[in-house]
Amino acid sequence: MDRRNFMKAGVLGAAATPLATPAIAQDVQQWKLVTAWPKNLPGPGVAAQMLADRITALSGGRIEVKLYAAGELVPGRGVFDAVSEGTAELYHAVPAYWGSKSKGILLFGSQPFGLGAAEQIGWMYHGGGQALYDEMYGRFGIKPFLCGNSGPQWGGWFRSEINSVEDLKGLKFRTAGLASEMCSKLGMAVEAMSGPAMFQALQTGALDAGEFIGPWTDSALGLQQVAKNYYWPGVGEPSSAEECGVNANVFNALPDDLKQAVALACESLYNPVWTEYTTKHAASLKKLVAEDGVQVRMFPQEVIDAMGAAAAEVIEDLRNDEDALVKQITESFVAYRDSVGGYMTYADNGQMNARAQVLGY
C-alpha cells in the first residue's frame, strides 16, 4: 500500500454547498457519504466504502450512495457539520472527533480503560446506550448508528523509548477523544490531527509520538518509517467504534423499509469490520517487526498505573458535567462497564489468560 496515495487526500477541504433535499431521479435517492478518511485507507477508508455499497445494495438500488473522501467535498473533521446542516446525507467517522460538540459524545466511541468491541455494542443494544446515543445526536439533527470497530488500538509510535511517567511530560503526542484528556492530565502536549498529518509531524519533529489506529492502518500511512518504538497496550482506546451519522430529516422521511435497510447496513458491518481489523492487524504487525525493524515495547507498569489514575479523573469530570445528558450517558457507561467487566474476568479474560499460559499467546 503506497502511503503517498493517502497523503494526497490529507485534510484539505473544498467549499460545501447545502442541499435542501436529496436528489431524486425515477424514485432513486442519490446520497452523498462524506468521510473523515482518505479514500480506501486500510481500515476506516475501506469500511466507509463498504457502508456506501451495502446501503445501496440493501435498499435495492433505491438509495444510491456515493462516497466522498476527506477533502473531496468537505474537510475530514467537517463531516459532522455537513450532515447536520444538510450538505450531505450521511457521514462515516468516529465519535472521538466530536468532543467540541459535547463531551458526552466521546463515550460512544472509546473510553480509556473502557469497553472492548463486544462490550461497546453490548452497551448499545442491551445497556441503554442506543437511546442515549440517539438523544445526544438528535440535538444536532443526526440519527447515529455504530457500523464497525477497530478493536484494541495501540499505545502509539514513539521516537524515543518511554521508561517512566516523567518521560511523558511535555511530550508532543497525537491522539483523539477521551484519550486526549487522559494524556493531558499526565502533562503531555496533545495534538489533534489526521493520520497523514501525523506522519508529516513525526517526520519533521513537530510531534514526538502519536497513535492512530493499529498495525494495518498505521503501516499503510508509513508511520514505521518515522518512529520505530511501537508501544502497547493502547489503554486510551481499548476499542474504537466507527459510526454512520444520517441527516435526521432525510432519515425520518424514508419509508419504513428503507429505514430498516439503512439500519441493517450499519449494524451488519460491525462484526465484519472488527474482524477484518483483527485479522489484518495481526499480519501487519509480523511484517512491521520482520521487515521494518519496528521494536514492539510494553509501557512500564508505572506508566499504565498513572494512565489509569488519569482515566479515572476523566470519567469523574464527566460525572460532574453541567449537562444532565452527559451525566446520564456517563452513569450508563460506568454501570455497564462495571457489570460486564466483572463477568469478563472469568469469561474472555480468563480464557485468553489460560491460552497464553499454555500456548504462550
Instruction: State the pLDDT at residue 26.
Output: 56
For residues 153-179, average pLDDT: 98
Instruction: State the pLDDT at residue 27.
Output: 86
Return the percentage of the chain with pLDDT > 70, whole number: 93
Contact indicator for 245, 142 with CB cutoff of 8 Å: yes
Q: Is 211 annotated as a binding residue?
A: yes
For residues 195-222, average pLDDT: 97
Q: Is 54 annotated as a binding residue?
A: no
Q: Is 158 annotated as a binding residue?
A: no
Q: Which of 318, 296, 314 is nearest to 306 (CA)?
A: 314
Q: Is 224 annotated as a binding residue?
A: no
Mean pLDDT lowest among 8-12, 194-198, 210-214, 327-331: 8-12
pLDDT averaged over every residue in the chain: 94
- Per domain, the residue ranges of the chain are 3-150+238-279
- The amino acid that residue 138 corresponds to is G
pLDDT in tens, 86-129: 999 999 999 999 999 999 999 999 999 999 999 999 999 999 99
For residues 241-265, average pLDDT: 98
Q: Is 153 annotated as a binding residue?
A: yes
Predicted TM-score (pTM) of this structure? 0.91
pLDDT in tens, 281-330: 999 999 999 999 999 999 999 999 999 999 999 999 999 999 999 999 99
3-150+238-279 has which fold?
A: D-Maltodextrin-Binding Protein; domain 2 (3.40.190)
Instruction: State the pLDDT at residue 18.
Output: 47
Per the model's pLDDT, the better-predicted residue between 275 and 17 turns out to be 275
